[in-house]
Structure 1
Amino acid sequence: MNKLLYTIMLELKGVPKMHEDHLYLCRFPYHRPIVSKLKDGYEISIIEHDPPIIKGLKLKKARDWVSTQCIIQGTRCIEGIVLDFEGRPFVQDPSGERISRENLQRMPNLTSALTYAKEWCKKFLQDNAENEREVVLHTKPFESMVNLRLLQINHVRLEGKYKYLPAGLKWLQWKECPLKTLPSDFCPRELAVLDLSRSGIEKVWGSYTSKLSSLKELSLNDSAIEEIPDSVGSLSNLEILSLMWCGSLTAIPDSVGSLISLTKLLINGSAIKELPISVSSLSYLKELSVGNCKDLSKLPDSIEGLASMVELQLDGTPITYLPDQVGALKMLRKLEMRNCKKLRFLPESIGSMLALTTLNLFGANISELPESIGMLENLILLRLNKCTQLCKLPSSIGNLKSLRHLWMEETAVIELPESFGMLSSLMILKMAKKPYIELSGNSVPSSIEFPTSFSNLCSLVELNARAWKLCGKIPDDFEKLSSLESLNLGYNNFFSLPSSLTGLFNLKELLLPYCKELKSLPPLPSNLEDVNVANCTALESVSDLSNLERLQELNLANCEKVVDIPGLECLKSLTRLHMCGCKACSSMVCLRNIRTLSMPGSRIPDWFQAGVRFSEHKNREIKAVIICVVVSLDLQIPDDLRDQLPIIAGIKANLVKMNKPLFTTMLELKGVPKTHEDHLYLIRFPDCHPIVSKLKDGYEINVIEHDPPMIKGLKLKRSGIYLVFEGDDDYEGDEESLDESQLSISEKLSKFFSCLEEEDHTSQSDCVVESQVQAIEEEEEEREISEPVWWDFLRPLQRCFCL
């Protein structure tokens, strides 16, 4: 009709500096008006602007191409089409309209009628909105695509006869297919892969299934499928059958046993109640996955027929036992039974599964492991986490020569068998328990120690024995564990470590929090990066730390008896120092690399501001933001959360523009004080942190408490912020001779903390004097009460004599 409906100026970026021709390509997505407004019969043309906007510009050739044109007209050379439009998730839950209709039928009254009318209107509007967004393709154009082999049409609706789809189609993925049944005229004989996941399909072909002789993979995951036809057994070439999360599927037909080529059967999350006995005929099946089938309570005894099975997944099923025939699965490598809450024991025949490399019993209710488990000579991973009823390990566990990972956190095991040291390949041992939790039904001996053979674990890299109630002294031969890189012995009751830990030369992480009877920290290995002795309230002495050149974090929170930390000034790599509740001197530490610091104190530097407004400096970039806060805790207010958290939560920094928060970060105030005293926390944010990188001219930073409070009794007393610009903290020489205004930020902070500690010592001395004077006055008052009246005449003479 030659009527102009829409015009767009092509954005041809890049102006050539030569006379040569240049090619420009512009691609417009479907949401742009030039695409979304297209209708049948519309034309697209490309012309020059008249008059020309740029002198000398000449349009030589122009061509428009619509990506759906190949579908509209068809072409013989196309072999694959991929159309993946994002659609809404398929919902199988009953709609409000359906529920209200059933309520109206059951209890007809005015209220139910009005409710139904309201829900019907709502559904009508929703359906119309969905239909407007729906992508529709016609099947007729596919007829001429005789070479089409791959077709992906996710979130698309097809209209027309399905016989037009090429007979040579081999791969079809149609997620969120809106059909409830596949039409009888759709049967591409060469189809090898069919994926109808998240679709509304309730039934697949019946007698037509036999014509799909080439089908190798069928996926109906998360679909509305209600029944698998018996004719599925005729798919002799089918290798993968995936029916995961099919909530309406309650049974698998016996004919599945005829799938002689099947290698994977995946039924996770479906509603099946049992596996057919014929499943044992699947001699080539390698993977059987029935996890989270909530109604599947047992496996068929005929499971021994699955001679080729490599992986069996039973997670979250209500099975109570494994049949003895499971021991016949000689090829099985992976057996997973996570969260099988009704599983009480394993059969002795499990020891016959010689190929087993992974055994996962996370969250099972087993009370013991069979002795035959020691026969699993190829077992690499044994996971027993949260097996809260497991009280002991069998003595045969030492025979697992290939075991590398043993995870047994939060179990009821309180002793390791003497054979434990024979696990020569063990690298990861995680057997932590929850602090503050007493395991019921298990008597804890008065003294728990590692077995004498424990030091033979020469391959051990990570050991976590938190809250095992280890008592006494950790033996000196513990130093033989020379491969250790991470050691966590927190929340235990031992009073002494080995006389030296320097033999653990690979150790990078030493965690000993809440070891309340530990009295001293021995010489430590030089490769340590993290040392945590927080809340070791009996700790009195720390060995020289000057050799810890790589140490990045040191946590001495609430180590109130520690008065000196030798070598602290040599820790050049230290970035995090936590000393709240600790009276040891911290002014010697190098503050240039410090990112977080906590210590007793009630003041912040007077050159810090409670709130700052950023203004850009010419030729000087912002490098960091330093925030100081002074907080106190009212310990008279009980709070279980406060006693268990490693940090004080509830103080946050805001980046604000015109009183509107743009970014908020919670300050990580590590170390929770155990006294009412004020404590100072310093945090330095580098330029990569959003609170620094997002700063623009006119933006403000402030510090506030979270409302409502996250920790009871927390009080923010003071806060201060300082912006560090380029050149403020770059000087690395001796600053003793420099003027106050020339000092680097690190040196100024160091001087401030020195003054803070001197004031603290002075205040402590004043407190001692005041307490002594008060004691003398109280003593004199007691004497006045107990002495006779005539003694008052001799009191002046007594004082003169004392003078």
Structure 2
Amino acid sequence: MHCKSLSKIPDTINELIALKELFLNGSAVEELPLNHGSLTCLTDFSAGNCKCLKQVPSSIGGLISLLQLQLDSTPIESLPQEIRNLSFIRKLELMNCESLKFLPKSIVDMDTLHTLHLDGSNIEELPEDFGKLENLVLLGMNKCKMLKRLPNSFGDLKSLHHLFMQETLVAELPENFGNLSNLMVLKMLKKPLFRSSESDTQGTSKEPRFVEVPNSFSNLLLLEELDARSWGISGKIPDVLEKLSSLKILNLGNNYFHSLPSNLVGLSNLIELLLYDCRELKCLPPLPCKLEQLNLANCFSLESVSDLSELAILQDLNLTNCEKVDDIPGLEHLKALKRLYLSGCNSSCSLAVKKRLSKASLKMMRDLSLPGSRIPSWFSQGPVIFSAQPNKELRGVILAVVVALNHETGRDNQLPNVVEVQAQILKFDLKPKMFHTLNLCGVPRTSNDQLHIW
């Protein structure tokens, strides 16, 4: 591997009758000298990142024992039809093959295929009979930016567990998509839908492409993770979504829907609900009790939040820039809450929150941000003096920092860690025992002061 001057492999390699693994990654090999019927013991063949390899010979179909074939980041333009003869193949990797625009129709005959990676390739479509790959468990198509549609047979991939199709041009899912009865992870986020201005909550920099969730989605009963950010989902999310009782992570951020199902309690295993930048959402319905993370940042139209009293293990609550929310019912019962972000919220919400917060509810708190410029009275404990005392350990360090920022810095309302501000607790040998970098979450839309306590 990585023999960058090695451009040719001798034909005599075909005489290695016991060879099981062959790795040519990163070499300058221009062709694969494979004879039909040779290398009958070869199970693992990898030629990834061979930048001079433009063609795969038809004789590759003669590798009758091959289980894994890796051709990532090569300039190949096609695969031979004979690839169907790899009768034991389990894994095929074609990531970042930018010259590859089509898959051979014969690929559907590779019925032992378990894993197929096409991420970063330029394929424009999948074969119409793609659903015949009945043993396919994982399909990766992230950043296949020329892929516009899925074939109608796609719902026949009954063994599919993981589907990754982030940043493709696919606009709609086939109606039989819900037939993927074993699907557990579905990631199909698109690039963020940029809005025209911060003051215009309805505008977009370009006309949005509205889509609806297929009714058959309710059949994905084993689905544990769904990431559909920026899909342009509009209107009302259908109530059938509540049937997905196996869901653990649901990310619908940066979409156009105005309402969720009337009740989400049926999502009994949901741990994370991420609705960041859903600017048309007006109301948050009752939520399942196992929820640990709830992100509603930049939901500018949100007016009310359901009672959160039952969310006994909620750890993260983000309401940054939810300026129409006046109160957070049940906040005082969230004994496990570690992070609460209220930057950019209105003053009445801030007052209501302060009334609901108590010393008991603050015991677990790690991060707290809210409007204002004064340290709350319940936080101050007089001057901080440290003197070494026997049998008494240092329990914490308080740092005070002022950070000024303009809205160009916080474009897209995302902030990185402020790396210049770090806290360390050192042992006697000066080795860090604890290390933390200040993390500011969410950029407020207002110029008013915001307080962040960690």
Q: Deviations over 1:313-355 (max 9, x none)?
A: 0011110000111111111110001111111110110000000
Query: What is the DSSP-based 3-state SS (H/G/I as helix, E as strand, rest coil) of the residue aligned with 1:397?
Result: helix
> Distance in 1 between the 2:48 and 2:37 partners?
18
Write 1 or 2 for the structure with the bigger share of helix.
1
Cα offset for 1:464? 0.3
- When residues 418 and 277 of structure 1 are mapped into structure 2, their CA distance, relative to the original with a 3 A threshold, is same
> Distance in 2 between the 1:349 and 1:413 partners?
23
Cα offset for 1:648? 6.5
1:597 is matched with: 368
1:668-679 pair list within 5 angstroms = 668-679=439-450
**1:617 corresponds to which letter in structure 2?**
Q
Q: Deviations over 1:537-566 (max 9, x none)?
A: 000000000000010110001100000111
> Distance in 1 between the 2:101 and 2:319 partners?
44
Greater shift, 374-383 or 251-260, is seen at 251-260
Cα offset for 1:425? 0.2
Answering whether residue 244 of structure 2 is matched by residue 481 of structure 1, we say: yes
Q: Deviations over 1:257-306 (max 9, x none)?
A: 11111111111111111011426511221111111111011111111211
Greater shift, 302-311 or 592-601, is seen at 302-311
**2:418 corresponds to which letter in structure 1?**
A
1:645 is matched with: 414
2:388 is matched with: 616
Query: What is the DSSP-based 3-state SS (H/G/I as helix, E as strand, rest coil) of the residue aligned with 2:421?
Result: strand
Judge conservation of contact 1:602–1:630 (CA < 8 Å) in 2: no
2:19 is matched with: 262
Q: Deviations over 1:549-600 (max 9, x none)?
A: 0101100011000001110000011111001111312221311110000000
Query: What is the DSSP-based 3-state SS (H/G/I as helix, E as strand, rest coil) of the residue aligned with 2:55?
Result: coil
1:216-231 pair list within 5 angstroms = none
1:291 is matched with: 48
Q: Deviations over 1:599-652 (max 9, x none)?
A: 0011125886999774323332112224455555444xx34x543415563661
- When residues 430 and 486 of structure 1 are mapped into structure 2, their CA distance, relative to the original with a 3 A threshold, is same
Judge conservation of contact 2:414–2:441 (CA < 8 Å) in 1: no
Q: Unaligned regions of 5+ residues in structure 1, if any?
A: 1-243, 684-803
> Distance in 2 between the 1:513 and 1:304 partners?
48
Indicate the percent of aligned positions where both proteins have the same amino acid.
Answer: 54
Answering whether residue 336 of structure 2 is matched by residue 573 of structure 1, we say: yes
Judge conservation of contact 2:220–2:244 (CA < 8 Å) in 1: yes
Tell me which structure has the larger Cα radius of gyration: 1
TM-score by length of 2: 0.89
Judge conservation of contact 2:282–2:304 (CA < 8 Å) in 1: yes
1:242-281 pair list within 5 angstroms = 244-278=1-35, 280-281=37-38
Answering whether residue 222 of structure 2 is matched by residue 459 of structure 1, we say: yes
Answering whether residue 188 of structure 2 is matched by residue 431 of structure 1, we say: yes
1:550 is matched with: 313
- When residues 505 and 288 of structure 1 are mapped into structure 2, their CA distance, relative to the original with a 3 A threshold, is same
2:199 is matched with: none
**1:525 corresponds to which letter in structure 2?**
P
2:78 is matched with: 321
Judge conservation of contact 2:143–2:167 (CA < 8 Å) in 1: yes
2:156 is matched with: 399
Query: What is the DSSP-based 3-state SS (H/G/I as helix, E as strand, rest coil) of the residue aligned with 1:382?
Result: strand
> Distance in 1 between the 2:413 and 2:286 partners?
29
1:366 is matched with: 123
2:326 is matched with: 563
Cα offset for 1:248? 2.2
- When residues 274 and 445 of structure 1 are mapped into structure 2, their CA distance, relative to the original with a 3 A threshold, is same
> Distance in 2 between the 1:446 and 1:317 partners?
34
Asked which structure has the greater RCO (Cα within 8 Å, sep 6+), the reply is 2
Cα offset for 1:372? 2.1
**1:288 corresponds to which letter in structure 2?**
F
2:232 is matched with: 469
2:174 is matched with: 417
Judge conservation of contact 2:264–2:285 (CA < 8 Å) in 1: yes
RMSD across aligned positions (CA):
2.4
Judge conservation of contact 1:280–1:303 (CA < 8 Å) in 2: no
How many residue pairs get aligned? The number is 430
Judge conservation of contact 2:72–2:93 (CA < 8 Å) in 1: yes
1:329-344 pair list within 5 angstroms = 329-344=86-101
> Distance in 1 between the 2:217 and 2:424 partners?
53
> Distance in 2 between the 1:554 and 1:656 partners?
28
> Distance in 2 between the 1:346 and 1:324 partners?
9
- When residues 275 and 437 of structure 1 are mapped into structure 2, their CA distance, relative to the original with a 3 A threshold, is farther
Q: Deviations over 1:66-118 (max 9, x none)?
A: xxxxxxxxxxxxxxxxxxxxxxxxxxxxxxxxxxxxxxxxxxxxxxxxxxxxx
TM-score by length of 1: 0.51
> Distance in 1 between the 2:314 and 2:253 partners?
19
- When residues 286 and 651 of structure 1 are mapped into structure 2, their CA distance, relative to the original with a 3 A threshold, is closer
> Distance in 1 between the 2:406 and 2:78 partners?
53
2:200 is matched with: none
> Distance in 1 between the 2:405 and 2:208 partners?
37
**2:371 corresponds to which letter in structure 1?**
P
Query: What is the DSSP-based 3-state SS (H/G/I as helix, E as strand, rest coil) of the residue aligned with 1:278?
Result: coil
1:133-172 pair list within 5 angstroms = none
> Distance in 1 between the 2:436 and 2:421 partners?
6
- When residues 289 and 512 of structure 1 are mapped into structure 2, their CA distance, relative to the original with a 3 A threshold, is same
